[in-house]
Structure 1
Amino acid sequence: MSRFLFVVPPLVGHINPTVGVAAELTRRGHQVAWAGVPEVVEPLVGEQAAVHRCAAPPLNDPALLRPPSLRGPAALKFLWERFLVPLAEAMAPGIRSAVREFRPDVLIADQQAVAGGLVAEQLGVAWATSATTSAGFTALADLPKVEEWIAEVLQGLRRRIGDPAGTVDPRLSDRLVLTFSSRELVGPGNFGGQVRFVGPSVSSRPVTSGFPWEWLDPGLATVLVTLGTANGEAGGDFLTRCAEAVGARSDRMQAVVVDPSGTVSGTGERVLVRRGVPQLALLERCDAVICHAGHNTVCEALWHGRPLVVAPIRDDQPTIAGQVVDAGAGVRVRFNRATADHLGTALDTVLDEPGFRAAAVRVGRSLRASGGPAVAAVHLEQLVRSRALSGRF
């Protein structure tokens, strides 16, 4: 039996992939724990899970809200300076305590919880990366100045909370990178030998509230509209336009709109607005998805064979949207400029032209064939067996 510690940021989309992997490791007889913000982690992993508390910047701090108009390198710089660096500095003491108390054989650090890799390197613990987006391998290839700036930021963090003599990029372990995608979706490229494409970690998740399944009309096409959990400040107008597009087609389709911020109102009778939904269960009954090209939502939709309309906002989303379009599994629209008519036309395209559904099913098969949590668990077990260091505490 081995011990595995997942280090996660207080972001739902980055925690969810660990749930299935942890469940598989537990099924195999291993011990699992998390290091993160319990108030965010526990509702997703279950109240019985062992969650070691880490501090984090106050998530309701207005200073953390990126202006919706901020894009490209400016948005990335804002993310690092206002959130990722303060998050790393806040989490580091809690991660050290978790390592000393739990004594993991392997630490699995999310890409955005860079303190995990830095602390593991400092303490001599074998560690892997949980890559919740494949864009990290390619997105900055054409932006060498941005990558150089991030490298300097990471080196400063290493001096403050890690081993100043360390050399491994804390975003990408040199031993194992679990990538929750497939080569079919990501496309061609030269990836490191430590990168393993395991497909999305699709597993049962705790459901805290009921969903009115009886509202869905089986005679209509169902569209899921979601911008994830971190884009509420940017999404109200876009979600309203999506609702209008579906409302104009209420004779043949219905929509479930996820609106965590509660800003959408005045929708038609064939549009259901909810602050949260059981996404995996809903995807089983959907026909298409409109989203921001968030990695988890895209992979989960394609895993179910659902074509997409993607409207990337920033960060890795343009890269993921490009993967969807290149695979033939969806249509891309402009987040700020797509009108209800544009969105309606895009929906008609992915629903009426069979090639999009066929491509989504094909990519979905590749995601399923990648193995998911079971294969991820095997790679982690292999890392335990092959690790050069057993840990120094």
Structure 2
Amino acid sequence: MGRFLFVTPPLTGHVNPAVGVAAALTARGHEVAWAGRPEVIRRLAGDGAKVFPCAVPRRLPERDASLKGPAAFRFLWEEFLIPLAEAMAPGVRAAIGRFRPQVVVADQQAIAGGLVADGLGLPWVTSATTSAELVDPLAGLPKVAAWLDDLLDGLRARIDGGPADPRMSPHGVLAFTTRELLGPAALPSRVRLVGPSIGGCAPTGGFPWDRLDPAVPAVFVTLGTANADAAGNFLRAAARGLSDVDGIQTVIADPGGAVGPVGDTVLVVPQVPQMALLARMDAVVCHGGHNTVCESLWHGVPLVVAPIRDDQPIIAGQVVDAGAGVRLRFGKAKPERIAAAVTKVLGDPGYRSAAEKVGASFREAGGAATAADHLEELLG
């Protein structure tokens, strides 16, 4: 049996897919350990997870909601990903020394995992929790690409990392999507489209399930866990707009408490058991985060996507191209526009049909089990 070390950033959406793959490997008798933030990993993988702690920067930066496009990209790398890699690198190196993994699985945003493993000559695989990097977002931007290469070269020198690109391992890339969502973009042969890995230990207790009427169409509104700085105006607009739509009920995830009092047909809660809730939904309004999009489509639920930044515009474009939803401009998402978009998605069965088609492709791809197959191939 093999030993696999998963290296993840302190971000729920990046740990969740790895949890499913780790569970599949464990079920086959392999030994699994983690390098990252213990409190984040154990909340999702369970209290029994073997976690080697990694530091994070003393103060993770908050991005101003106005940052978009190249400015947001630059901030992401300079202020978050590079400092995070420097902070995590000693913990990753210590985890490898103590656990002695045969294969390292490094999240695309935990770039210390790939660089340290590469420097030590270990087989490692990239866990691509979003498909944005697969379609080369810097194509046609040679100056930006050169700037990023320089950043990575400096990081390599400081942490004694290997020469490979930490975003796209030469040993393989596990991409948690399928062609039905990704589209026809050309991909390197090392990319494996395994479909979403559905896992995690999200409890379903505590949610007011009795507030949901199964006879009434239901809409879920969420901006994920990493967009609190930009969430307030949008969530308030969604609450106002959807409270005026007859014949629907709405659930809004509002971790920052931005919404305030609303009508009886809108339920506002700080957190939700997302996968369980999605099974009861008829439409989802979100920011275009890859996990939320894939979990919605897994259940055949069509979407209204209002991307904010980073990979979200790319994912939103994929949803629209697949026919599984409509797109709004985040900054222009007034109550009436959100209401009209939701009404359109609920009223046209073609969106539901397209969402179900993508969801079927996810199941056929195999998800965590297929990812585990590819990882086992590296054991030799």
Indicate the TM-score class for this superposition, using the shorter chain for normalisation.
over 0.9
Residue number in structure 2 paired with 1:389: none
Shift of 1:208: 7.6
Q: 1:351, 1:26 → 2: CA distance?
A: 40
SS of 2:249's equivalent in the other structure is strand
What is aligned with 1:49?
Answer: 49
Question: What are the superposed Cα offsets for residues 39-75 of structure 1, whole Å, 9 maximum, x if unpaired?
Answer: 221111111100100000145x5xx111100000100
Residue 80 of structure 1, aligned match among 68, 77, 82: 77
The 5 A counterparts of 1:26-45 are 26-45=26-45
Q: 159, 168, 172: which one pairs with 2:164? A: 168
Q: CA deviation at 1:281?
A: 0.4
Q: Does 1:340 align with 2:335?
A: yes
One of 80, 94, 97 as aligned partner of 2:94:
97
Question: CA shift at 1:316, angstroms?
Answer: 0.3
- Picking from 82, 106, 127, the partner of 2:103 is 106
Q: Which of 323, 328, 344 is the matching residue for 2:323?
A: 328
Counterpart of 1:391? none
Query: Retained in 1: the 8 A contact 2:298–2:358?
Result: yes
Q: How far, CA to CA, are the matches of 1:375 and 1:112 in structure 2?
A: 22
Does the 8 Å contact 2:222/2:287 carry over to 1? yes
> How many equivalent pairs are there?
379
Q: State yes or no: 1:370 paired with 2:368.
A: no
Q: Distance in 2 between matches of 1:338 and 1:58?
A: 35
Shift of 1:375: 0.4
> Are the aligned partners of 1:8 and 1:113 in contact in 2 as well (CA < 8 Å)?
yes
Q: CA deviation at 1:144?
A: 2.4
Map residues 129-168 of structure 1 onto 2, 5 A cutoff.
129-138=126-135, 139-163=137-161, 166-168=162-164
Runs (4 or more) in structure 1 with deviation over 6 Å come to: none
The 8 Å contact of residues 45 and 200 in structure 2, kept in 1 or not, is answered as no
For the 8 Å contact 1:311–1:335, the answer to whether it is kept is yes
Q: What is aligned with 1:245? A: 241
Q: How does 1:173-322 map to 2 (within 5 A)?
A: 173-207=169-203, 210-249=206-245, 251-322=246-317
Q: Counterpart of 1:384?
A: 379
Contact 2:302 2:351 in 1 (8 A): yes
Q: Secondary structure at 2:330's aligned position in 1? A: coil
Contact 1:182 1:367 in 2 (8 A): yes
- Alpha-carbon distance in structure 2 between the residues aligned to 1:162 and 1:296: 32
1:266 deviates by 1.8
**Residues 112-121 or 210-219, more deviating:** 210-219
3-state SS in 2 of match to 1:4: strand
Shift of 1:168: 1.3
Aligned residues: CA RMSD: 1.1
Segment drifting more, 207-216 vs 6-15: 207-216
User: 8 Å contact 2:107–2:127 — kept in the other structure?
Assistant: yes
Answer with 40-49 or 2-11: which moved more.
40-49
Distance 1:355 1:145 in 2: 42
| 2:109 maps to amino acid | Q
For residues 5-20 of structure 1, the aligned pairs below 5 Å read: 5-20=5-20
Alignment check: 8 A CA contact 2:7 2:106 kept: yes
- SS across alignment from 1:210: coil
- Say whether the 8 Å CA contact 2:43–2:201 is kept in structure 1: no
Letter aligned with residue 352 of structure 1: G
> Which residue identity is paired with 1:377?
A
Q: Which amino acid aligns with 2:44?
A: L
Matched AA of 1:80: W
Contact 2:204 2:276 in 1 (8 A): no
Measured after TM superposition, the shift of residue 244 of structure 1 is: 1.1
The structural deviation recorded for 1:167 is 2.8
The 3 A distance-change label for structure 1 pair 57 and 317 is same
Inter-CA distance 343–172: structure 2 relative to 1 (3 Å threshold): same
Query: In terms of mean alpha carbon deviation, does 146-155 or 306-315 score higher?
Result: 146-155
The DSSP-based 3-state class of the residue aligned with 1:34 is strand
1:273 Cα shift? Answer: 1.1
Among 42, 58, 67, which residue is 2:64 paired with? 67
Q: Provide the C-alpha distance between the structure 2 equivalents of 1:118 and 1:365, rounded to a whole number of angstroms.
A: 35
Aligned-residue offset at 1:204: 4.9
* Whole-angstrom distance in 1 between the partners of 2:167 and 2:322: 27
Q: d(CA) in 2 for partners of 1:204 and 1:111?
A: 19
Q: Residue by residue, what CA displacement relative to the aligned partner does 1:138-184 show, whole Å, maximum 9, x if unpaired?
A: 22223222222111111111111134xx4310111011100000011
Task: Give the match's secondary structure for 2:350.
Answer: helix
Shift of 1:276: 1.0
Instruction: Verify the 8 A CA contact 1:226 1:290 in the aligned structure 2.
Output: yes
Gaps of 5+ in 2: none
Q: What amino acid is the match of 2:140?
A: D
Q: Deviations over 1:82-122 (max 9, x none)?
A: 11111000000000000010000100000000000110011
Three-state SS of the structure 2 residue aligned to 1:148 is helix
Corresponding letter in the other structure for 1:78: F
1:45 and 1:144 mapped to 2: Cα distance?
A: 40
User: Are residues 111 and 204 of structure 1, via their aligned partners in 2, closer, same or farther at CA, if it must alter by over 3 Å?
Assistant: closer
| One-letter amino acid of the structure 2 residue matched with residue 198 of structure 1 | V
The letter for the 2-side match of 1:264 is V
Report the residue type matching 1:270 in the other structure: T
Task: Give distance in 2, aligned partners of 1:384 and 1:264.
Answer: 50
CA distance in 2, matches of 1:175, 1:22: 18
Deviation at 1:4, TM superposition (A): 0.5
